[in-house]
Amino acid sequence: MNDPMEISYTYNLAKKVLKSLGATTSEIDVFNQDRKVTFFDTYIWCFSYSDYNQALQNYGDIALGFDTQQIQESLANQYTKPKFENMQIGDGYVFPLKVEYDLDVQKEYITSIMVEWLRAYRGLRYTETLPIANAIRLQCLKALFLLSLCFKRYKYHQEEEIRFVIEKITQDSKLQNDTVFNGYPKSVAYIKQNMLKEIVVTHKDDADKNIDALKQILNRNDFAKVKVRLTDLDY
């Protein structure tokens, strides 16, 4: 994840829910410490359902259209051991997520988790229930972390975003990245010719004049079957 604001959004919402549940300031402080626990090293690849989504233009003059089922299978084969057996540090769990933008839905999920977290924390005062309470608290944090990967503010709903997530097994919170690009740790995805289906070009900055150049690049790199077209948007 290279956008900490997305992660913080869910945890800040969780704190608001805690307050509504009657949590004290000290309990919220404990939650702030809890959320710093690192479970996985997370990498996300984002897509949009819509090939004429205006939000795509925020990221450049062209959009790449993939066969997403093949993307998921390729990532799973690349990072996950067969049948999840003998998973080691650096291996990853691959799964798709549909981003949820509805605040009411988000609160419903988060509230059920924070109710259990608060009960578990308050149960820590009893020695005989300490192991159980700690285990429940940990599971709540894991569930909340998963939600933080797919909850976004409603104002971004036009993105219609879906995501493929790689959760890499880590040790001592060390990154398991394959490379560093523009200062950010990245995992590498191997792209085969049949995965890339089309390239959609925007109207911005006369990008449409580069269609022939794009076709030449594709031909030189064995992607000759990839379709290149202008966006369906009028502007």
Query: What's the full length of the chain, in residues?
Result: 235
Instruction: pLDDT band for 3, please (50, 70, 90 cuts).
Output: low
Distance CA 201, CA 229 (A): 6
Angle subtended by helix axes 103-122 and 25-34, to nearest 10: 100
Residue extents of the structural domains in the chain: 4-49+69-189
Paired tokens of 9: 């959004």
What pLDDT shows up at residue 56? 73
Other CB atoms within a 10 A radius of the CB of residue 153 amount to: 13
What pLDDT shows up at residue 2? 56
Question: Does 42 score more than 80 pLDDT?
Answer: yes
Q: 132 with 119: CB under 8 angstroms? A: no
What pLDDT shows up at residue 135? 94
Question: Does 123 score more than 70 pLDDT?
Answer: yes
Distance CA 59, CA 48 (A): 12
What pLDDT shows up at residue 189? 92
Distance CA 109, CA 143 (A): 10
- Cα dihedral 139, 12, 35, 95 in deg (nearest 10): 60
Structure pTM? Answer: 0.86
Return the percentage of the chain with pLDDT > 90, whole number. 66
Distance CA 209, CA 230 (A): 10
- What is the DSSP-derived secondary structure letter of residue 45? E
Bridge-based pairing of strands 196-201 and 227-230 is parallel
What pLDDT shows up at residue 1? 56
Tens of pLDDT along 7-19?
A: 899 999 999 999 9
Q: 150 with 63: CB under 8 angstroms? A: no
What pLDDT shows up at residue 197? 93
